[in-house]
Amino acid sequence: MGNIQAEPIESKRKYGHRYIDALHQILAGQGWMTCPKSMLAGMTAASFRFTVDRRLTAESTSAYNWMAEHFVSADLLGLTTSQDAGFCFTSTFPIYRKQALRDIRRSLDRGMPCILWHDQFVVATGYDDTSEILFLSDGQTAGDIPLPFDQFGRGQSPYWYYQILEDRIALDEIEVYRESLVQAIFKWETHDLMLPEADYACGKAAHDAVIHAFRIGDYDPIGASEVLAYYADSKRDILEYVTALERYWPELHAATTSYRTVAQLWDEAVRFIATTESNEDHSVRIVMTELFQDANVSEGKAVQSLKHLMRETIHNRFDDIGLR
């Protein structure tokens, strides 16, 4: 078909367009979801993912196994998907690009936008075969962002990725919430095997890495500001999500209280670092270290509360709670 264009759905964000922003954009546009983005981030357990490069570089926010995590995120919602990814510098990339463009256009022909990576997660909303252009939405820029077919997978980063939503099945809402909390525990306790531990830290270890970076002063000051702001958003999403789930499990109140403290501490850290002339000053590093030490303790308490609530499910799986 020559020219296909879906109606764009706004998805305003402050710190980069996350996978969950793109997914929410599509689900809301298709009428498949009406809940706030913080609920989607919680249901998919995406808001609980916490990974940092040990020097707090900006890439920390997208350093995770996209294929595994995004498959699980969709699966938790009852969505069937197809996806692929790779590097643009491989000799076979032109073949993969051709297939990717075919898959994306086929999905758009049936009215389903797609998620793809173009230096951030964006939504392909349409295409023009004559001009050989994809139309993208990043949830913030007004109007369409044109991407020539031959530039697919050729951004500033060497990665290409796309995911197509195919169908959905109805799931029990309570079970979706229950599984998301189990996966929250998994993300706190488990390192992403795709990432070398010498360079990256995940979950609780990521908190320890942030504290260590500020304590010794070995971090990227520009990247750190971006990373902290990004994860402060995630901590607020967690708080909103767990608060909403208290209507089903009043026992979550203790976890909610702890997550509220975590969100407040992260917000305080972001505000503090934004008002300093240099976030590398020793006095600044002392304050940041203390804030994140307190946040680490509070989030640990929150996870222990989740483990107590989900203890039967965890026990029934013989403590093997990952879905990947």
Comparing 87-101, 270-284, 294-308, the range with the smallest average pLDDT is: 270-284
Task: Give the residue extent of every domain in the chain.
Answer: 3-34+79-168, 173-316
pLDDT tens digits along 150-159? 999 999 999 9
Task: Report the pLDDT value the prediction gives residue 324, as an integer from 0 to 100.
Answer: 57
Is residue 135 within 8 Å of residue 125, measured between CB atoms? yes
pLDDT at 9: 42
Segments of the chain assigned E as strands: 3-5, 51-53, 79-87, 114-117, 121-128, 133-137, 145-148, 159-168, 200-202
pLDDT for the residue numbered 203: 97
Task: Classify 3-34+79-168 by CATH class.
Answer: alpha beta
Contact 78, 127 (CB under 8 A): no
Sequence letter at residue 110? R
What is the model's pLDDT at position 5? 47
| Whether pLDDT at 14 is above 90 | no
pLDDT at 319: 65
pLDDT value at residue 315: 85
Residue 89's CB is within 10 A of a number of other CB atoms, namely 9
SS (H, E, C) 104-150: HHHHHHCCCCEEEECCCEEEEEEEECCCCEEEEECCCCCCCEEEEHH
Q: What percent of the chain has pLDDT over 70?
A: 94
What pLDDT score was predicted for residue 157? Answer: 92
Residue 92 CA: distances (Å) to CA of 32, 116, 161:
36, 19, 15
Percent of the chain with pLDDT over 90: 85
Half-sphere exposure of 74 (CA within 13 A, CB side): 22
pLDDT-derived band at 16, boundaries 50, 70, 90? low
pTM over 0.75, yes/no: yes
